[in-house]
Amino acid sequence: MPAALLEHAAPLLALAALLGLILGSFATCAGFRLARGGSVLFPARSYCPACGHTLSWRENLPLLGWLLQGGRCRFCQGRIAARYPLTELASGGFALGAMAVFGPTPHFLAAVCFGTLFLVLSLIDLETYLLPDALTLPGAAAAFACSLALPPAWTLGIGWERALGGALLGGGGLWLVSVLYRRLRGVDGLGLGDAKLMLLVGALLGPTAVAITLFSGACLALPAGLVAMRRTGGQEEDDGTDETGRGLHTRLPFGPFLCAGAAGYLLAGPWLLNWWLGLPLP
């Protein structure tokens, strides 16, 4: 954050965290509805996913509403999944970090918008194993526009050359890997939705971010994959077994881990890069 703003840091950080909590609440609603083919805007009011009860403004307060109700709907006493407050906390923490890095600038607004998009995509992928084109492709176009329009600052405003190179490496590279894997193995090993997500990441953050996002995403996915394999015994939901009955692989959405890696790079890219290369931290 610029030195001139340090004396106002506490109010700015508090406002950023509040904005993040609100955007996190929106992300949980959008992810839930879009995963089921619904609309983000209709109905306008949030409702209990168990009984359909329309939530009051008190029940809909980010994080506090869940805590005050003890994680249950006041109308039907059905459990409200912990992913709702956890998503809001993640969004609040990300917005707090974005304000600390970028200050009250257009770069902060761009960061929280793309951070919210990453959250929505993650929630949809966790439920459906899909990353919808209706979000990834417009998101990639918006990322390219931001790279052109924003002046360079930290990890944003990278210019059209790096944005184009990142998009080609991220989108084109993963598309090629997906096609080759399917031809060699005869099954999908990497969805094209992941390639379109990396098209977005590359257009927003550049070629270096593509490499670090893939590396960090794979590191984050590895322990989750091992846990999922232990729980399912290696059996895939759509019967991905050989003739001996031994499981070949377990389905795991890769999008949330890529989104986490991209969000981490957006806030701490130069630090991550220097740490990776063993150079002094900036």
Q: What does the alpha-carbon distance between residue 74 and residue 116 come to, in Å, rounded to a whole number?
A: 28
Q: What is the pLDDT of residues 32-62, one digit of tens each?
A: 999 999 888 788 788 887 888 888 888 888 8
- pLDDT for res 251: 77
Compute CA distances 237 → 37, 249, 255, whole Å.
22, 10, 18
- pLDDT for res 3: 55
Q: Which amino acid is at 12?
A: L
Q: Which has more pLDDT, 257 or 282?
A: 257
Average pLDDT over residues 55-71: 86
Q: Please state whether 217 falls in left (phi above 0), alpha (psi between -120 and 50) or beta.
A: alpha
Residue 202 and residue 210 in contact, taking contact as beta carbons nearer than 8 Å = yes
- pLDDT for res 247: 42
Those residues with Cβ within 8 angstroms of residue 247's Cβ, 6 or more apart along the chain or in another chain: 229, 232, 233, 234, 235, 236, 240, 241
Six-digit token string for 77: 């006493």
- pLDDT for res 59: 83
Split at pLDDT 50, 70, 90, the class of 185 is confident
Q: What does the alpha-carbon distance between residue 129 and residue 82 come to, in Å, rounded to a whole number?
A: 20
Q: What does the alpha-carbon distance between residue 192 and residue 281 come to, in Å, rounded to a whole number?
A: 35
- pLDDT for res 246: 40
Report pTM: 0.90
Residue 139 and residue 131 in contact, taking contact as beta carbons nearer than 8 Å = no
- pLDDT for res 57: 82
- pLDDT for res 250: 66
Residue 16 and residue 99 in contact, taking contact as beta carbons nearer than 8 Å = yes
| DSSP of 226-257 | HHHHHHHTT--TT--B-TT--B-------HHH
Six-digit token string for 12: 């700015």
Average pLDDT over residues 79-83: 87
pLDDT of 207 strictly over 80: yes
pLDDT of 87 strictly over 50: yes
Q: Which has more pLDDT, 72 or 262?
A: 262
Q: What is the pLDDT of residues 208-262, one digit of tens each?
A: 999 999 999 999 998 888 887 777 665 544 444 444 444 445 678 999 999 999 9
Residue 79 and residue 11 in contact, taking contact as beta carbons nearer than 8 Å = no
- pLDDT for res 2: 56
Nearest partner of 170 among 132, 188, 144, judged by Cα: 144
